[in-house]
Amino acid sequence: MKATTFISQFNFRAIKMVFSRQENTNFFTNNPQMGLTAAQFAHLSAEGLSTVESFLDFEEDDLDAAARNLRVAIPGIPAVMDLVDPTIVVTPAVAAIPACTMPASCLKHLKIASLAYHYYLSIGREPTSVNMNFSRVLCGFHIEWEAIKKLAKQTKPDVPVLNKNAPPTKWLESFRDCLYRTYGVRSASLSYIIRDEPLVPAEVEDPLEQASSFGESGSVLEELIKRLAHNHPLYRSDDAAVSSLLEEAALGTRFEATIKPFTKRKQGRNAYLAIVSSHAGVDKWESIQKDKLNWLMSSKWNGRQNSLEIFTSLHRAAFAQLEEASEYVEFQLPNVHSRVGYLIDNITHSDPDLRAAIANIRLKNGGMRDNFEDAVACLLPVCPYQKYKITTCLYADHVLSQLHEAISTLYILLKFLYTRIQSTIPPA
C-alpha cells in the first residue's frame, strides 16, 4: 500500500512561492488576470502589494484602503550624492508616482485573488501561477465561495437529541448532517472537526484537479472539510462549537457522562469520538448487522398485519442500516438479486394475482429479478391487503348482524316467559 504523508504543522509563511519575476508581473498586469496598468501596479507596490505572496497581508478591507490611496500621488525622492565626489550617486532617485484610480473590475479581481490565496494556505496547498489563474480557476472558485457564504448565513439546523428512540447508532448520521449544515468561524462546515483523519494529506498525495481549486474531494466545500488544519489558531473556536452541540444533544441522558470530561474543556472532537467508541463501536454495528440480515432473510408477510407497501419499506430500511453498518464492520452486503429473493421468498399470501406477479419476477421479465424497485413496483398494484381488509370487514358486519338478530329473538323470548310467569302467580 502506498504510504501517505501529511502536513504536520500549520504555518502561513511555510508556503514556498513558485512565481518567477515575469509570472508575478504578468499576474498583476495581464488583462485576463488582474489587468492593472503600470501606474496602478507601481502605486500598489508602494502600498506593499508587489508580489502574489504579498496577499498574505492584504484582505478585502486592506485592498479597499489601498485602492483609495491610489488617488493620492506619491512624491519622488531625489538622488543622494556623495559628499566628497558629487558625481557619485549614493542613493538613486525614486521617481514620483502620479495619482490614479482603479476600475471596479480590477479591484474585484484582486479581492478574489486574495480570497483564493488565503484559501490555498488554509488547506495546505501552494499558490502557483496555474491555480491562481483567474479565467481558468479563480472564476469557478469564486462562484463556489459565494455559494458557501450563502449556506453559512442560513438558519442553523436543530440539534438531534439522543434518546431511547435515537440511540447513538441511529443518531450519529443525523448529528453528522447537523454539523455539515452548521458553519464555524472559518467559513467552513463544522464537519471538518470530526473527519476521520485529523492530519492533512501532503499535496503530492492529493493534487489539485486540472483547472480546479480542489483535489479528489470534488468541491471547495468538501476540500475545506478534508484539508482545514486542526492546529490553526481558530480551530479551538470551532471545536468548542461542536462541544456545545454535543452537550445539547446529550443533556439529561446517560450519554452525558461519557462526554463530560471533554465538554468541560470544550473539546468537541474528543467528545464525539468518546460517544462513537463507547456507544457506537464495532460490537454495536455487528449486532445491527446480524439483526437486520436475519430480518431480511426470515421476516414473513401474510397480508394480515400490514400492506405490502409497509413491508417493502421495512425491507428498504433494514438494507439501509446494513449499508451503514458496512462502514464499520467488514461483511458482504446482500446484492440486488439476493434482496429481491429475500422479499419474494418471504411473501406467504396465496392470493392468485400476487402469486402471478411473484412468478413474473422469478422469470426475470424486464430484469425485475435483479432490480429491487422494479420488483416492488410489480408487487404493489396486486397487494391483497385491501381485499383482505374489505373481506374481514364484511364478515364482521355479517357476524354483528346475526348477533343482533339473536339478541332481539332472545329478548322477545325472555319477555314472553316473564309474562307467563307473572300470570301464574296468584294475587296477594
Q: What is the pLDDT of residues 338-389, one digit of tens each?
A: 999 999 999 998 889 999 999 999 887 778 999 999 999 999 998 888 665 5
Q: Cα separation of 142 and 124, whole Å? A: 19
Coil, helix or strand for 333? coil
Res 420 pLDDT > 80: no
Q: 129 with 18: CB under 8 angstroms?
A: yes
Average pLDDT over residues 16-45: 89
Q: What is the pLDDT of residues 263-284, one digit of tens each?
A: 999 999 999 999 998 888 787 8
DSSP per residue over 255-286, as a string?
A: THHHHHHHHTTT-HHHHHHHHHHHHSSHHHHH
Q: 131 with 120: CB under 8 angstroms?
A: yes
Instruction: Pick the more confident residue, 391 or 144.
Output: 144
Q: 336 with 382: CB under 8 angstroms?
A: no
Q: What is the pLDDT of residues 99-130, one digit of tens each?
A: 888 999 999 999 999 999 999 999 999 999 99
Question: What does pLDDT average to over the chain?
Answer: 87
- In the chain, domain spans: 14-153, 168-280, 283-382, 388-428
CA within 13 Å, CB half, 90: 7
